[in-house]
Amino acid sequence: MGYNASVRDIKCKVVVDFTSPFLDESITVTSTEVNRIATLQQTADSVTSMSAKYLLLDGLGTLDGTWCLGGGQVGWFGTSVSDASAEFGTPYPSLTITHTSRPIQSVKVVGDDKRNEYPVNFTVKLYDVSNTLLHTQTVTGNDAVIYSEAIDTVSAVVKQVLTITKWSTVGTCVKIAEFYTSIQEIFLRDDIFQINLLEEREVSEGSLPIGSISSNEIDIRFYNKDRIFDAGNTMSPLYGVVKPNRRVRVYLYEDEEDLSPLGVFWTGEWTVPENALWAQTTGRDRISMLGQSTFSSGEVYEDYSLLDLFELVLTDAGLETGEYVIDTNLDLTTVPYAYFESQSHREALRKLAEAGLAQVYCDREGIIQIEGPEFSSGASVLTMTSDHYFNKDNPTNWGTLYNYIIVDTQPLVPGSSETVFVDIEAETIDNAEVITRLVYFNTVPCLNASATVTGNAVLTSATYYSWGASCVITGTSTGTYTLSITAEPLEIKNKQRSVAQDTTSIAENGKLTYTFPGNPFVQTLAQAQAISASILASYKDPRRDVTLDWRGDPTIELGDKITVIDTYGNNDYIVVSNRIEYDGTLREETKGRKA
């Protein structure tokens, strides 16, 4: 029937990972034997498939070009091989995972899906904090790569031990992709009171939405029917795991086979009133999480493009390729000398976005999207008439009308070499004594640093940063020495100004000045001119955007182009904001920027 049908039945699905190995630093993995290509921690990352068919000197078949030497998703590979009966000798291969106290409701052991190998006979033992054995799961005759079995809830487990006695293939070692059993709960429409989502592609924050970075937010109110969210309910399957930073994925759908994702979020605090029938949490996306981590770099990056710098910040934050998409047009702008003071990853991204007139936001799959000013939304995905919406407003945004644009450069230029550190008093040292000193420059950032030691010591080695140096000093005899360092400070010199103006707009509306904020990544006049011209083109005339209060469609995403037909014609808009409310029925407020 579709979301535009006059009668529709929209359902919801909320998936909560209450034990997230990506955030739970308490998880440790050890083994009695480890192959050189193994990555033990991957047995607790919720990934149940090997990345490739890995080549080991065990049960080796024909070298047909399908084998891999290592890397990617590996998990636990052992070293001992099974005998002619596919059994292992003592001591048996064993894998141990420890974590904070939590209930266990199932046992899961996953072998190697690429080589179709798996444990046949094995045991899983669960222990508490006193190392008391709480439960033993003995398995014989398993014939599947993925073994999963529900068990009666075992509370207060802190250690799980997998011991394998027989393998599926003669003459091969153990290969386990996954062992840790995470707690994942799926909540459907009858489990949910209400969902409120706010997603934005740009945020004006009282000024022009230039270089925007925005994080999406969702409020979810669950039906606490069996008091499973209560912190003191020791019989709850969620006892001890209702905590902040739990990953949440939310979907709306009419057909289970065609889910419409609303995003990937991480929870904040949980509210669970004792006298209410609900439990509530607020989730924020990955960009909000980047505001909690610090980007601290000791380098000056010469001739890096904005794309390079975006990728530098994201990879430092721990993101992998595939978790972000960067507009390739941002590779066309080069920053002569880029330097980052210690700041959050989010703030570093914001400054880069401002310098590139880019938008940074998370899409519905949790992927960070970084789009430059030349972003194209493609064809319209929805045509709306008055039959679709309850109310429509086309505000004239006089507050974002500017016809005189000023952009100043902040070029960093290496200065003359000067002393940026020197010991105020001579330091003492013994003969043959080795000292490592971390010192900080009086001026930052700096290039081409060079340290000198005089007196009863020599400089053995030095590692230089933009803000200081780590120097290894060795005494040549008992006495004193002095350390000094020269470097070339980077200074803001020879600022230039780009002014773009529209005389027609000024004549009609008066002179309305916008001064671009000082940005350390805007260093060339060409870049400043491109910024001022782009801002002028977008904001020299009053713009009639659109705000729609309508029935809603969860397939309409940020950046989509929609067409709105009214009495006065057809207009295209780029979706920049969606506010979705679901309580068994769906309602949505969409804001669009005139295309």
CA distances (Å), origin 228, targets 224, 249, 272, 309, 566: 6, 19, 10, 45, 50
pLDDT one-digit tens code per residue, 562-592: 999 988 788 999 999 999 999 999 999 999 9
In this model, does residue 59 exceed pLDDT 60?
A: no
3-state helix, strand, coil in the chain (%, to 5): 10, 45, 45
Query: Which pLDDT belongs to residue 235?
Result: 80
**If we measure between CA atoms, which residue out of 242, 265, 244 comes closest to residue 195?**
265
Tokens coding 9? 């039945």
Residue length of the chain: 595
CA distances (Å), origin 218, targets 3, 12, 194, 335: 21, 14, 10, 37
Please list, in sequence order, all residues whose beta carbon lies within 8 angstroms of the beta carbon of residue 448, skipping any fewer than 6 positions away.
Answer: 414, 417, 487, 488
Query: Which pLDDT belongs to residue 357?
Result: 93
Please tell me the distance from the alpha carbon of residue 543 to that of residue 541, in angstroms, as a whole number. 6
Please tell me the distance from the alpha carbon of residue 71 to that of residue 491, in angstroms, as a whole number. 43
DSSP secondary structure string for all residues of 395-421:
-B-GGG---EEEEE---EEE---EEEE
In this model, does residue 67 exceed pLDDT 90?
A: no
Label residue 104 by pLDDT band (50, 70, 90). Answer: confident
pLDDT one-digit tens code per residue, 315-336: 999 888 889 999 999 999 999 9
pLDDT one-digit tens code per residue, 191-235: 999 999 999 987 654 557 777 888 999 999 999 988 999 988 878
Lowest mean pLDDT among 42-56, 129-143, 508-522: 42-56
Query: Which pLDDT belongs to residue 164?
Result: 97
Tokens coding 551? 């029935």
What number of CA atoms fall less than 13 Å from residue 224's CA on the CB side? 23
In a 3-state reduction of DSSP, which class is residue 132? Answer: coil
